[in-house]
Chains A and B, each alone.
Chain A
Amino acid sequence: MRRDAARWPWLLGALTLLAGALPLQAGSLAHRPDRALPAVLYLQSPAVARRVSLSFDSLMADLYWIRALQHFGASRLQQGAPSGFADLYPFLDLATSLDQRFTVAYRFGAIFLSEPPPGGPGRPDLAVRLLEKGIASQPDRWQYWQDLGFVHYWWTGRYDKAAEAFSKGADTVGAPWWMKSLAAVTLAEGGDRQTSRLLWKALAQTNDNDWLRKDAQRRLLQLDAMDQMDALTTMVGSARQRGMQAPWSWAALFARGWLRQLPVDPTGTPYELDLTSGVVRLGRGSSLAPLPVEPRSRAGVAVSR
C-alpha cells in the first residue's frame, strides 16, 4: 500500500513534464522555417531493391507506389518547386520492378509522366519507357498498348507510332474490337479533335482505375467546351461582320439577338468574353481549366474549326 502511494508523485511528475513538452514542441515547430524537404530515394537501383526486400517485394512496391502518388500530388500543389517531379519516374520504376504485375502503376504512371508542366513533368519519353517495361512483363495486357498509343498520339505527336501501338494492341488476345479502328483512324486523321474524342472515350471505358476513368471523362468535357468555344467564336466573328464592335459582352450579343441565354461550359461556369478583342475563354474558376493544347495545333498544323 505504502509502495503504491510512493509511486504517485513520480507519475504526477512524469505527466507534468509530458504536458510541458507539448507547448515546447509546438513552439519549436512554429519557429521552424517552412521548407519542403525533397523526397529521399534511399534505394536507387531496382535490382538492389528487389534483393534487399527479401520476400517483401510486393509490399515494398506498394510503399513506392504510395510514395509516387504522394510525390505527384505534393509536386502539383507546390508548382514551381525546383525539384519538381524529379523523383516520380524512379519511384514508379522501383514500384514496377518490385512488383512486375503492378498494372495500375504502369498505366497511372504513364499518365502522370506525360502530363505537361505545370501539372506534371512533361516527360512522355519516360512514360513510353514505363509502358514498354509493362508490355515486356505482361505482353498479354492490351491496355498497355492502348496507353502507349495514347501517349504517342497526345503527347509526342507521333501518329505513326500511335497507330502501330493500337494495331499491336488489337492483335492481343482479348483486345476490344475498336482498337483496330483506332489504329486506322489515328493513321488517317491523327491530331484532329474527333480522333482525340475517340481516344478519350476508349480510356473512359477502362475498368482499371477510377481516377483514369474520371480524368478521361473530364477530358471529354474539355473537348465539349472547346467545341462550344469554337461555336461562340464563330458567332462573334459573324456579329463582327454584321457591324458589331467592341466593347464585347454577352449582354450586348443577347440584346442584338445573337444569344438566347448566357453561354456556360459543361460544368455550368459561364464563359468569358474579352471586352476589347472578343476572344472567348473559359470562365474564372471553371474546373475545366487549363484546356489542353490539341496535338495538331501543337505540331504547328492548323486545326479546322
Chain B
Amino acid sequence: MKPRLIFAIAVNTFREAVRDRVFYNLLLFAVLLVGTSLVIGQLAAGQDVKIIKDLGLASSLLFGVGIAIFIGIQLVAREVERRSVYVTLAKPVTRSAFLFGKYLGLLLTLAVNMAVMTAALMTVLYVYWRVTPPNLQAVWTAPAVDPALLGALLLIYIELAVVTAIALLFSTYSSALLAATFTTAVWVAGHFVGDLRTLELVGASEGTASLGRVVSWVLPNLALFDVKAEVVHGVPVPLAQIAYAIAYGCTYAAALLLLAVAVFQRRDFK
C-alpha cells in the first residue's frame, strides 16, 4: 500500500467535495451565527454568549454529521454507479488504498469545514467580548473567547471521523439510501448507549437487559465526545478524559475502516 497513492485519492476526494459545493454549508453557518448574534441580545436576557457558543458547537456537529453521512455514503456508491471504480481498480490501486484514500479525503474536507467554522465562531465571540461592557461580562460563566472551546470542537471532529467510518462501511455493500438510513440510525443509537446499559431500570426483562448491554458495547459510544455543556459553562474537562475519548474514537474508526476494507475486498465488480 503506497502512501502517495492514498494521498492522491484523498486529494481527489477533497476536490470532488469542493466541486460538489459542500462548502456552501459554511455560508449557512456564517449567516446563522451572525444572524443569531445580532438578535440574541434582545431575546436571551444576558445569556447571549452562552447561546452563541451552544449554537456554534451544535451547528458544527450538525453540519459536520450532515456532510459525513451524505458525502460518506456516496464515497463508494457513486463510484460504483458511475462505474469509475472499474477504471480506478484496474490500475495498480488496491481496494484498501482506495478506501483509505476516500476516507482521508472526506476527513480532510471535514477538517477544512471545521477549521472555517471554528474561525467564524471565535470571530463572533471575539467581537462580542470587545463590545460587551465589563460589568455585563461578569455574568458570563466562561470567557467569550475560551481556548476550552477548541477541546470541544476537537472531540466533535473525532465524532465526525467515527460517523464517516460508519457511513463508509455501509456504503461498501448497500445502496446510498440504505447506507444513509443505517448511518443515521447508528449515530442516533450511539447517543443512547448509556440507556442501553441500564434497561433493567425501566422494567426490561433480564434477557433484554443483557442484550442491551451487549449491543451497547458494540455501538459507538458517541456521548463520550460530548463536552459541549461543560465547556460552555466553564467547567474544566480533564485532559485524560479528552485523551481517552480521542483514543477511543480513533480506535473505533480504524476498526470500522478495516471492516469496510474486508467487506469491500469481497465485493464483485465483474
Q: A51-B192, A54-B191 are in contact. Are A59 and B46 (CB under 8 A)?
A: no
Q: Is the CB of A209 within 8 A of B46?
A: yes
Q: A101-B235, A207-B139, A210-B139 are in contact. Are A58 and B45 (CB under 8 A)?
A: no
Q: Is the CB of A66 within 8 A of B44?
A: yes
Q: Is the CB of A103 within 8 A of B43?
A: no
Distance A66 CA – B232 CA, assembled complex (angstroms): 17
**B146 interfacial contact with A, CB 8 Å:** no
Distance A228 CA – B156 CA, assembled complex (angstroms): 60
**A62 interfacial contact with B, CB 8 Å:** yes
Interface residues on chain A, size class: 20 to 34
Q: A207-B138, A209-B139 are in contact. Are A58 and B229 (CB under 8 A)?
A: yes
Of all chain A residues, the one with the shortest Cβ separation from B229 is: A58
* Chain A contacts for B141, CB-based, 8 A: 101, 103
* Chain B contacts for A209, CB-based, 8 A: 45-46, 139
- Proximity string of chain A (128-156) to chain B, C-beta cutoff 8 Å, 1 when within and 0 when not: 00000000000000000000000000000
Of all chain B residues, the one with the shortest Cβ separation from A210 is: B46
**B55 interfacial contact with A, CB 8 Å:** yes
- Proximity string of chain B (237-260) to chain A, C-beta cutoff 8 Å, 1 when within and 0 when not: 000000000000000000000000
Distance A207 CA – B133 CA, assembled complex (angstroms): 13
**A99 interfacial contact with B, CB 8 Å:** yes
Q: Which B131-179 residues have a C-beta within 8 angstroms of A?
A: 136, 138-139, 141
**B262 interfacial contact with A, CB 8 Å:** no
Q: Is the CB of B43 within 8 A of A69?
A: yes
* Chain B contacts for A51, CB-based, 8 A: 192, 195
Q: Is the CB of A59 within 8 A of B54?
A: yes
Distance A57 CA – B191 CA, assembled complex (angstroms): 12
Q: Is the CB of A62 within 8 A of B191?
A: no
Smallest CB separation, A157 vs chain B (Å): 28
Interface size on B, residues (CB 8 A): 30
Q: A55-B61, A55-B191, A208-B139 are in contact. Are A104 and B47 (CB under 8 A)?
A: yes
| Listed residue (A58, A70, A211) with the most chain B CB atoms within 10 angstroms of its CB | A58
Q: Is the CB of A55 within 8 A of B228?
A: yes
Q: Is the CB of A57 within 8 A of B44?
A: no
* Chain A contacts for B223, CB-based, 8 A: 55
Distance A103 CA – B50 CA, assembled complex (angstroms): 11
**B188 interfacial contact with A, CB 8 Å:** yes
Q: A66-B43, A104-B45, A108-B45 are in contact. Are A57 and B229 (CB under 8 A)?
A: yes
Q: Is the CB of B54 within 8 A of A62?
A: yes
Q: Which A104-144 residues have a C-beta within 8 angstroms of B?
A: 104, 108
| Residue of A101, A108, A207, A210 touching B229 (CB-CB under 8 A) | A101
* Chain A contacts for B195, CB-based, 8 A: 51
Distance A211 CA – B44 CA, assembled complex (angstroms): 11
Q: Which B22-60 residues have a C-beta within 8 angstroms of A?
A: 43-47, 50-51, 54-55, 57-58
* Chain A contacts for B191, CB-based, 8 A: 54-55
Q: A58-B58, A58-B228, A58-B229 are in contact. Are A65 and B47 (CB under 8 A)?
A: yes
Q: Which B64-79 residues have a C-beta within 8 angstroms of A?
A: none
* Chain B contacts for A62, CB-based, 8 A: 44, 47, 50-51, 54-55
**B200 interfacial contact with A, CB 8 Å:** no
**B125 interfacial contact with A, CB 8 Å:** no
* Chain A contacts for B225, CB-based, 8 A: 55
* Chain A contacts for B45, CB-based, 8 A: 69, 104, 108, 209-211
Given A55-B225, A58-B228, A210-B139, 10 further pairs, Cβ under 8 A: A55-B222, A55-B226, A58-B54, A58-B229, A69-B44, A70-B43, A101-B229, A104-B47, A209-B45, A211-B46
Residues of chain B touching chain A, judged by Cβ–Cβ distance below 8 Å, are 43-47, 50-51, 54-55, 57-58, 61-62, 136, 138-139, 141, 188, 191-192, 195, 222-223, 225-226, 228-229, 232-233, 235
Residues of chain A touching chain B, judged by Cβ–Cβ distance below 8 Å, are 51, 54-59, 61-62, 65-66, 69-70, 99, 101, 103-104, 108, 207-211
Q: Which 8 A-B pairs rank lowest in CB-CB distance, beginning with the nearest?
A: A55-B226, A59-B58, A207-B138, A58-B229, A59-B54, A54-B191, A101-B233, A62-B51
